[in-house]
Amino acid sequence: EAKRSGGGRHMLFTPSIKDRATRRGALELELRQALDQRELFVVYQPIVDIADGRIAGFEALVRWQHPKRGVVSPVEFVEIAEECGLIGPLGEFVLESACWQLAAWKRRFGADAPKMVSVNLSRAQLQDTAIVRQVRRALNLSRLPARALQLEVTESMAAQGDDMRDRLLELKALGVTLALDDFGTGYSSLACLGQLPIDVVKIDRSFVADAESNLHKRVLIEATVRVARSLGMSTTAEGIETEGQAALLATLDCNKGQGYLWSRPLEAAAATQWLAVQLNRPALPDDGPIAAA
Ligand code: C2E
Ligand code: MG
Ligand code: MG
Ligand code: MG
């Protein structure tokens, strides 16, 4: 390709548009089979109460272990799934896996079990009325109370049009918790928060990353926490990697935290073992080894 177009040297290193289209086309075909062939699975990252470090719940994150390409990022394949009509079954798989897993932890750990699991929804999922049915079904199958399920949407999705708002209201009517993911990265502002039927604001990792050195970011976090609280919402900080960041976010009155400081996302068995250690419960033989995903 580089040769034919007589193109510059950079073409040897930067994937051409054609190469990217080819990868995309291949991934689309392969994604269709991946669900059946159990190449997709869900990993779990703990969310903790930032004041005392107690486990509040887990965020479910989908993974694709491709037989030849290795791990493909959800950032890449979720978008492909949306565009080729596969997000329905993919989303349902994540919802049902996550609810099933939390129900299993409840059986295993009883009153000490995490109280909720949080599942990301993509734009296409929120646009489709089927999502309400899917959520109800996942709750019924797992027999979880609706309050045990948190659904994450992004600012741009939530602020977009009446359809999306209506869908969010329908979901909220089921009793689930709604969280605004990646807050601070979109176009909406603190002023928009009051217009959304949201329970939790997740402060984006980009704010947390340099909150200690950047006064501007710190002030924005502080304002977000204050406005959220005055609207009856709680806050969760994403991407906390250091004790210093955790301490600062606690000082800023952020409610919950999530990040590598506590744990990377873990495969189900490893998350169960992580819980057993945290809760000081003896591990069972089938808990499996701890391995980062
Ligand atoms: P997100 O929902 O904002 O998820 C948080 C991302 O930050 C995850 O990346 C997680 O692994 C990463 N992360 C967590 N703690 C830290 C940290 O301390 N430092 C750093 N550097 N990163 C951290 P991941 O799993 O690659 O997911 C990327 C995005 O893909 C997610 O962002 C979400 O938007 C999307 N996604 C993942 N799973 C699903 C899913 O099941 N459905 C949908 N629709 N989207 C998903
Ligand atoms: Mg999320
Ligand atoms: Mg996020
Ligand atoms: Mg994100």
User: What is the structure's pLDDT at 186?
Assistant: 73
pLDDT at 7: 46
What's the CA-to-centroid distance between 271 and ligand 1, angstroms? Answer: 16
Give the pLDDT band (50/70/90) at residue 275.
very high
User: Which atom of ligand 1 sits closest to the CA of residue 202?
Assistant: 3
Instruction: Check residue 4 and give its pLDDT.
Output: 47
What average pLDDT does range 32-41 have in this prediction? 90
In angstroms, the Cα distances linking 150 to 182, 268, 291 are 15, 18, 25
**Which residue's CA lies nearest to atom 21 of ligand 1?**
239
Atom of ligand 1 nearest to the CA of 94: 41
User: Which residue has tokens 């699975």?
Assistant: 41
How far, in Å, CA of 25 to CA of 20, rounded? 9
Distance 234 CA to ligand 1 centre (A): 20
Residue 12 clears pLDDT 90, i.e. is over it: no
174 lines ligand 1 (CB under 6 A): no
Distance from the alpha carbon of residue 88 to the mean position of ligand 4, in angstroms: 20
Locate all alpha helices (DSSP H) within the chain, ordered by sequence.
17-34, 74-83, 87-109, 123-127, 130-142, 155-158, 161-174, 190-193, 205-209, 215-230, 243-251, 268-278
Q: Which ligand is nearest to the CA of 203?
A: 3
ipTM beyond cut 0.90: yes
- 3-class secondary structure, 153: strand
45 CB within 6 A, ligand 1:
yes
**Closest ligand to 121 CA?**
1
**Count of Cβ atoms closer than 10 Å to residue 29 Cβ:** 11
Residue 215 near residue 247, CB atoms below 8 Å: no
For the stretch 137-172, pLDDT in tens is: 999 999 999 999 999 999 888 777 778 889 999 999
Sign of CA dihedral 265, 189, 51, 102: negative
Q: What is the pLDDT of residue 157?
A: 82
Per the structure block, which two tokens stand in for 75?
């950032």
Question: Can you read off the two tokens belonging to residue 141?
Answer: 């199958």
Measured from the Cα of 154, ligand 1's closest atom is 34
- Whole-model pTM? 0.91
87 pocket-lining for ligand 1 (C-beta < 6 Å): no
Q: Which ligand is nearest to the CA of 47?
A: 1
Sign of the torsion angle spanned by Cα atoms 259, 40, 31, 151: negative
Task: Report the pLDDT value the prediction gives residue 122, as an integer from 0 to 100.
Answer: 94
**CA distance linking residue 140 with residue 99, whole number of Å:** 10
Q: Per this entry, what is the length of the chain?
A: 293
Q: CA quadruple 185, 190, 191, 192: dihedral positive or negative?
A: positive
